[in-house]
């Protein structure tokens, strides 16, 4: 499975790159020593081909540590954030998200799904859309997208369980959960047994970079994204807890049926603001 390969490959490189130099070198040399020890035991085993095994061991006993050290140097090189095609794009999701507002993020993710031939509905266009951030249509089927944990370091299985209930209520064929961090082992196991697709940090960075290039070149699957004329405007902060706010549809109060700014921590925080292009301090609208 592609997700399993990413779990095996990308986090190993990312974690190695995050280690101090001396720790990375020490860990790598210890691993090389274990492999060399195993090869030595194999080469000294009696039986046919003993001479050939000893020759292989002599060739590899210094080659393995050298290759491991080269791998450490590659993983921690200063230009590690440059894309494979030399585009100068960071592949570290933290660098990609640096300074990015929720609206810009939503616009790029919308474009990423459109590139995958989904029709995308913004949250403000979704009746009762508090549980998810986007609804996708493709081939007559409904697919849900949850981005509320986009800046989380770790997403647990309870998020997926709640999403599965929402999927059942909406008769959704599948769902996507996006995060800049990673998913717990329980969450990954749960996703394997369901129709929930996990998009973790490295994959999310690639999606965002591709969507940026598409929109910048004017070849985007949909001009203007989901946020309309306010796509580049920053999201305001919650008047109650100062968290970033997201666009949602008010279901009651003076703004029922209209788009409002709602706290991203909803339902733990119920702060709201009227939905306008945010350019300064605004008063809370508790009746929205």
- Compute mean pLDDT per 10 residues along the chain, 288 residues long, and list them: 43 56 74 76 74 74 73 59 44 81 90 91 52 86 92 93 92 94 94 94 92 80 42 62 71 67 74 60 34
Residue 128: what pLDDT?
47
Q: What angle separates helix 63-75 from helix 2-18, to the nearest 10 degrees?
A: 90
Hey, what are 118's tokens?
């989904």
Residue 91: what pLDDT?
57
> Is 248 in contact with 269 (CB distance < 8 Å)?
no
Residue 252: what pLDDT?
67
Residue 179: what pLDDT?
94
CA distances (Å), 80 to each of 74, 137, 203, in order?
A: 8, 37, 16
Residue 162: what pLDDT?
94
Strands 174-178 and 196-199: parallel
Domains assigned to the chain: 2-76 (no CATH), 95-229 (3.40.1350.10), 235-288 (no CATH)
Residue 20: what pLDDT?
67
Residue 284: what pLDDT?
33
Torsion angles phi and psi, residue 169, rounded to 5: -65, -25
pLDDT, tens digit, 9 for 90 and up, residues 112-135: 999 999 988 755 444 444 578 888
């Amino acid at each position: 499975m592609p997700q399993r390969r990413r779990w095996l490959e990308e986090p190993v490189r990312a974690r190695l790159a995050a280690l101090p130099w001396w720790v990375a070198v020490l860990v790598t040399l210890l691993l090389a020593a274990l492999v060399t020890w195993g090869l030595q035991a194999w080469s000294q085993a009696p039986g046919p081909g003993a001479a050939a095994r000893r020759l292989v061991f002599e060739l590899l006993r210094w080659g393995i540590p050298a290759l491991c050290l080269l791998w450490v140097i590659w993983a921690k090189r200063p230009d590690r954030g440059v894309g494979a095609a030399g585009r100068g794009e960071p592949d570290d999701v933290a660098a990609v998200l640096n300074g990015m507002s929720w609206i810009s993020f939503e616009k790029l993710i919308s474009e990423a799904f459109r590139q995958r031939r989904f029709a995308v509905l913004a949250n403000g266009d979704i009746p009762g859309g508090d549980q998810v951030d986007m609804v996708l249509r493709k081939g007559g089927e409904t697919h849900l997208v949850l981005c509320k944990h986009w800046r989380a370091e770790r997403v647990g299985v309870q998020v997926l369980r709640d999403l599965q209930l929402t999927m059942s209520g909406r008769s959704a064929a599948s769902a996507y959960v996006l995060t800049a961090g990673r998913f717990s082992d329980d969450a990954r196991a749960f996703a394997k047994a369901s129709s929930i697709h996990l998009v973790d940090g490295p994959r999310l960075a690639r999606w965002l970079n591709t969507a940026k290039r598409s929109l910048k070149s004017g070849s985007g699957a949909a001009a203007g994204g989901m946020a309309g004329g306010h796509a580049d405007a920053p999201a305001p902060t919650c008047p109650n807890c100062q968290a970033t706010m997201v666009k949602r549809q008010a279901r009651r109060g003076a703004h029922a049926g209209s788009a409002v700014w709602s706290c991203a921590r909803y339902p733990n925080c119920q702060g709201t603001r009227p939905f306008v292009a945010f350019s300064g301090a605004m008063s809370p609208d508790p009746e929205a």
